[in-house]
Structures are given as C-alpha cells and as structure tokens.
Chain A
C-alpha cells in the first residue's frame, strides 16, 4: 500500500461486506438475501472473475446446497456427474492393493456425491447471487482491515492499483476505496491474509490446537475413451510418499473424457528435501495410474493449500463487527477431504447469525449456538481424531481410523490434539536425506515452468512485490544454511530460487512473484515465518478455467 496518508479514499457502505467469492462467501450472500432481500450485500473477489482462483478436487456433497438452493437441478447447476464407482488403493512401488470399499469408513465413501468443477459451481453461484441483487466485484482484493474507534471491525480497504515497485504512484494510479459493512464476513479460503491478522488480533485461536495445512495439486487430463469411466472415483495412499508423511491422491473421472487427478500432502512433512510437486509428478508414473493417462493430454495444472486442523484447531469464528467462515476459519473435513459443503454450511450459519444481529439486535456470538446445533458441528466432531493419528505413521493411523470411524463412528471419548504448527516440523538439512526425483519425461511428468504456464497466472509488471520478507537477509543466513532453502521445492510455481552472484561473491534469494498462483504454501511452511503473502493488485494471479 502507498504510504501517503493524504490520499482521499472514497467510501461505500453496505449492510454486509463479504471478502471472497468462494463457496462460503457466495453461500453467505445468497442466504442473507433469502432471509431478507432488503439487506444490502457486496462481495469482493481478488480473482479476475468469480472462479478464477478456485481450485478443488472435487467430489461434492450436496447437503448444504440442498438447503441453500433446493431447486439447483432445475436451475441447471453444473453438477452432473454422479459418483458411480469407487476404488481405494494402497500403493507400493510396482503394485496396488485394493481396499474393498465396504471396509472403508462411511466418511470415505462417496455414494450419492457428484464429481464437479468447484470453480464452475462458484461461477453459477455467482450468477444466482447476482440475480438476488448481490453486488459482486471481481478483480478487487481486500488488502487491509479497517477498524472502528472501539476496536471492532468496520470493513476493509481495497488494494491500490497502479503503484510501482518502489511504492510510488504511476500515471494509472487508482487509490483503493473503503468498503464499510455493519458486518464484514471474511471468506478468503485457506490461510486468508486478513483472516490471519484477525485471528491474531482478537486471539481467536487461544483455545485451539495449532492449525494444520496441506498442499494440494490438481491437473486436468483429457484421456482416451477406453480409459475413461465417467463417475469413477479413485483414491490412493502410499507410494511415492514415505510412510511418515501424510498424504494421498485423488483421481476423478469427470465429463467429456476428462480426469481430475491430484495429490495432497500434509505440510507437517519433515524432510526439507521433500518436493511435493515432484511427489505428485512421480505418482502419475505408477503403473495403475499411468495406464489411465497414457496417450492423454494434460490441459490444466494448479495448486492450493488446504486447511486440515479440523475442530481442534478451529478458531472462534465471530469477533466484534465480523465473522470468519469456510476455510478462512478451517471448516474442512479432513478424512473426507471435503471442505466445499462445510464451507457453504458455515456461510449459511453466518447469514442466520447476521440476520439475528441486524434485525433482532442479537450479538454476533449467537454464531456459536447455531453452529453447535448444526450438522456441521456434528460432522467435524466425528472427524476430529483422524488427522492427528497420522503422526504415528500411515499403517497405525489407518488401523486407528478404522476403529475410530467404523466402530465408534468418531465418538471415542477423547480428542487427539495437533502438536506442532507446520512451520516447526522441518528437520535440519544436515540430518535429512536428499531425495533424487526422476527426470520429467514430457509425457506424464512435466517441469514446473510448463506447468505454471497452464495456470494462466499473471501479475501486472512493476508493482510492489506481494511476497514480503520480514527480514530480507534470513533466506540466505538462516533458511539456506539450515534447511537448504526448502521454498525452492515446496512452492508449486517456481517462484523462489537461489542464485549465485559472481560479482558480489554471494548467494541471492530470488522471488519471481509474477509466477505466484496464490496457493499460500510459503506463508504457511517457511520455517521462520519470514514470508508474508499479501494481496497483489486485484485481478492478478491464476486464471483457472474448470478447476
């Protein structure tokens, strides 16, 4: 942001200002209008259009949508492919063992769910919201929180446009404006950069375990007809990940001979030499997987962090003047790897809360009561012990999960807490084993540059670098020295690099911020929390089409 405090900023007021047009933000807006069409609602979205920054698996449970828009079928929602077949594989290097689906806990079964593109569902939800007179402004990022004098949240300020690298206004300078709401709803998704500030300022997480995250990759492939079984859902654990690292794959057979294939890895991994990107690339070469993809064509690539802490890590979701919903708070159900329906439900609950707040003068803390009485709370409660059990390793965790989920249905009388935040888990490079990943073959596996190219990511040139280092020396003096600069490996877009400067005879930390695809992994995993992701100019970032 520009330092000059004298800038005149325009101000606009709404009853409710929502940050982020993902499933949670859109559900909040739609439910608010359903409850009272007079409530004025706006949504701002940093992507160049609704859906441009949405990346998800996605096997979709319609439970929350059934409540929000019961006639979604008649309204032609882009939810068409019913799950028709399911497989769960335990992979070793050469082979895979099928785990019969009846043995799987109910939370891992997908009967009745649909294979969808969440980005396209959001585009459709955006249209539904606009038809209810919600104002949606894509291409604008919320860059700062605005507070009232009494410390409550008043709204947000949108980012300045047309500021150069040095922070000076260019000819095209357009100051950000202030958007004020009686209530502001933060729905930025996993690791929202404003949500992060709110959690800290209002100590919303003082009673919760450290938050847990994962990084998720996704590619869309067009495959040969003979390899495609529309409606099939395939999950795997095991190879190529080592048994200590939490993660697994998904492979969904969608419409039009397309496959949505991806990999999720817990960011509490310990080996700084692990490269999540390369684990995913390597996974595709497994005989069980490569046979599906061979002869096919990769048409999309992307990555996004997921929030996995569950109920133990969930912060308080209300604070004076504002609510935190969806993955910005952490409502994802980890054993299911589903966060869309839970994000939407949290939005519906937020809308009910705001309705009572605006018209019945209730405090925003009624959120807690409505939440505790909802199926959302019940669902997250039952799922709570699965992820933490994985610190015992894959096999014991799977056995525990089977007992916990199949026999006790998540009702065991204790809660396993998460022990560490993800940035604390890396071992020193000198104590870790280097990993030799195979070369990319250009058929099944690809280098980062050609992958990033498919994301359509772009940031206007000559703007302030949106990946801020709290201490610019630290990457060389600490992270490189101790951890062999893991950002080179965990960033899915090749933003970070170390280059040797001959003249100065020293290594330099390079940030190719233009490539950033807004996954937020660096903000989470950097061992000294030195990298702070802030919003670049609105409209920048990936341009995902059907993710």
Chain B
C-alpha cells in the first residue's frame, strides 16, 4: 500500500505576522518558514502506518517555489521515502492545487492521499475536499483517529457535535487534525540520510493545470486594535453603553 502526503510551506507558527507597509500582502522576507502544522500530523500518520507494516511507501508532494524542497526534506527526515516538488508560484489557489494533486495521484496511484485539514496561512480548508471531488474518491476530513483494515479505513472525525466514526472505502482522501498524533522529531542522522533521498522536480506548466488566480487581493490590512474594556457600575449603565455607545442593542 502506498500513501501520498501533500505538504505546504508556510510562515512558521511562532512568527508574528506583519502586513507589508504597502498593504500588498504579508512580509515573508527573511521570515522563518516551516511545514504547515497539520501537514506534519499527516506525515507522522503515514510514517506510523509504514512503521507498523501496513504501508510500503510514503511519497511527499509539495507545490510551490524551489524552497519547498526544504519542507519536503523535513518530511523525508521524519521517515518518508521520496519527494515530488511541483514548481509553481506562491499565489497558487486551492483549486489549482487540487488539480495538480490529481495529476500526481494519477501518476503515482496511491491508495490514500493524506493532507492537513487546512493551512495556517490562508485557512482555506478547501484543498482536500476539492481533491476528493475531482478524483471522485470518498473523503474523511478533520480526522483525529485512523485505522486500516484491508480495503477500508476507519476514522474518527472532529465535528461540531463531537466525534463521528466512519468507515471509508479506499482509495480515499483524508485530511488530518492536530489531535491525530504528535509528530516525531527528525534525528540528526536521519536529516543526513534525507539529504540523499530523491526529490523529483516537475514544472507545473508541464501538467497543463490552469494556475491563474481566480481571486484578486485588493488590500491586506491588520485587524483593528482591540480597545481596552471598561467597568460598569450596574446593569443600567451596561444597557446604556450597549445601546448608545456600542450600538449593538
């Protein structure tokens, strides 16, 4: 059995995001980038399944600039077998990503595609679902538990009401929640070994995917600064304030 894991290079979760002075986007120069956190859970789960013998090969794919190779190497150092980098611009949107992944799926023929539930940069939460639709494969999203039995998987998924248990036929698309597992640390010797693992590089143009953005960004702004709270003396004053100052009732 073979698993394809899609990973995205994003601004590290510890970095304080800053809007560019000209409001054209957020500052990425010399900012630390790393693997999107839920994608790390996806990689971890795939490698766990490989460790337990259920899976024979884990292939990592990332779509973006040359530097995404670093992100792929991180996954290889955690224990994945090989990588694919589809070279594309930074502004590629979920639908184009899903279409690109479909291309890779058709080439690699994995039994399962694992992704993070969403990326922490744009919070789109669309790619996995779109991929499942265009592949016409079943999907399991926000997965916090995963088990394999023969040609199906059992999953728990995080939903508003609590946890939902499902059984899904393979091949399938699964998006991972942070609760799924705790990603391992890559050891130094494994980082060394990962440097020798192969990464295939594909130009996105060669796949014939339409990457022209469908959304136009007009302006990026910081959210307004939160005003400090005030203490009110009694309910009457509270209602007054809500009515006339905040104008919410």
Contact B185 A174 (CB under 8 A): yes
**Is B90 positioned at the interface, with any CB of A under 8 Å from its CB?**
no
Contact B188 A158 (CB under 8 A): yes
Q: Is the interface of B mostly helix, strand, loop or mixed?
A: loop
Contact A172 B14 (CB under 8 A): no
Contact A222 B21 (CB under 8 A): yes
Contacts of A96 in B (CB 8 A): none
Q: Mark A291-309, 1 if CB is under 8 A from B, else 0.
A: 0000000010000000000
Closest to B222 in A: A297
Closest to B12 in A: A543
Residues B16-36 near A (CB distance < 8 A): 16, 18, 21, 27, 29-32, 34
Contacts of B249 in A (CB 8 A): none
Contacts of A10 in B (CB 8 A): 187-189
Question: Min CB distance, B43 to chain A, in Å?
Answer: 14
Size range of the chain A interface in the assembly? 20 to 34
Contact B185 A458 (CB under 8 A): no
Closest to A456 in B: B14
Closest to A177 in B: B188
Closest to A52 in B: B32
Contacts of A546 in B (CB 8 A): 29-30
Complex Cα gap A256–B14 (Å)? 24
**Is B15 positioned at the interface, with any CB of A under 8 Å from its CB?**
yes
Complex Cα gap A123–B191 (Å)? 19
Contacts of A545 in B (CB 8 A): 15, 27, 29-32
Contact B30 A120 (CB under 8 A): yes
Closest to A137 in B: B188
Residues A433-466 near B (CB distance < 8 A): 453-454, 456-458
Q: Mark A97-136, 1 if CB is under 8 A from B, else 0.
A: 0000000000000000000010110010000000000010
**Is B242 positioned at the interface, with any CB of A under 8 Å from its CB?**
no
**Is A368 positioned at the interface, with any CB of B under 8 Å from its CB?**
no
Complex Cα gap A120–B182 (Å)? 32
Q: For B16, B18, B183, B185, which residue has the most chain A Cβ atoms within 10 angstroms? A: B185
Closest to B225 in A: A442
Contact B30 A119 (CB under 8 A): yes
Question: Min CB distance, A132 to chain B, in Å?
Answer: 15
**Is A162 positioned at the interface, with any CB of B under 8 Å from its CB?**
yes
**Is A51 positioned at the interface, with any CB of B under 8 Å from its CB?**
yes
Question: Min CB distance, A50 to chain B, in Å?
Answer: 10
Task: Tell me whether A12 and B189 are in contact in the complex, defined as CB-CB below 8 angstroms, given that A52-B32, A120-B30 are known contacts.
Answer: yes
**Is B209 positioned at the interface, with any CB of A under 8 Å from its CB?**
no
Instruction: Tell which of A140, A170, A171, A457 touches B14, judged by Cβ atoms closer than 8 Å.
Output: A457
**Is B184 positioned at the interface, with any CB of A under 8 Å from its CB?**
yes
Instruction: Tell which of A51, A161, A456 touches B185, judged by Cβ atoms closer than 8 Å.
Output: A161
Complex Cα gap A119–B31 (Å)? 11
Task: Tell me whether A162 and B185 are in contact in the complex, defined as CB-CB below 8 angstroms, given that A456-B14, A456-B15, A458-B14 are known contacts.
Answer: yes
**Is A363 positioned at the interface, with any CB of B under 8 Å from its CB?**
no
Complex Cα gap A170–B182 (Å)? 10
Contacts of B30 in A (CB 8 A): 51, 117, 119-120, 123, 545-546
Closest to B31 in A: A545
Contact A48 B12 (CB under 8 A): yes
Contacts of A457 in B (CB 8 A): 14
**Is A13 positioned at the interface, with any CB of B under 8 Å from its CB?**
no
Contact A543 B185 (CB under 8 A): no
**Is A49 positioned at the interface, with any CB of B under 8 Å from its CB?**
yes
Closest to A547 in B: B30
Q: For B12, B16, B31, B191, which residue has the most chain A Cβ atoms within 10 angstroms? A: B16
Closest to A11 in B: B189
Complex Cα gap A119–B32 (Å)? 12
**Is A40 positioned at the interface, with any CB of B under 8 Å from its CB?**
no
**Is A425 positioned at the interface, with any CB of B under 8 Å from its CB?**
no
Question: Min CB distance, A542 to chain B, in Å?
Answer: 9
Contacts of B191 in A (CB 8 A): 137
**Is A528 positioned at the interface, with any CB of B under 8 Å from its CB?**
no
Complex Cα gap A179–B32 (Å)? 26
Contact A140 B21 (CB under 8 A): no
Chosen A-B contacts, 28 in total, with CB atoms closer than 8 Å, are A10-B187, A10-B188, A10-B189, A12-B188, A48-B12, A48-B34, A49-B32, A117-B30, A119-B30, A123-B30, A135-B192, A137-B188, A161-B185, A172-B182, A172-B183, A172-B184, A174-B187, A177-B187, A177-B188, A256-B21, A299-B18, A458-B14, A543-B12, A543-B14, A543-B15, A545-B15, A545-B29, A545-B30
Residues of A whose CB lies within 8 Å of any CB of B are 10, 12, 48-49, 51-52, 117, 119-120, 123, 135, 137, 140, 158, 161-162, 170-172, 174, 177, 179, 222, 256-257, 299, 453-454, 456-458, 543, 545-546
Known: A456-B12, A546-B29. 6 other contacts (CB 8 A): A12-B189, A48-B34, A137-B191, A170-B182, A256-B21, A453-B16
3 smallest CB-CB distances across A and B, nearest first, come from A161-B185, A174-B185, A458-B14
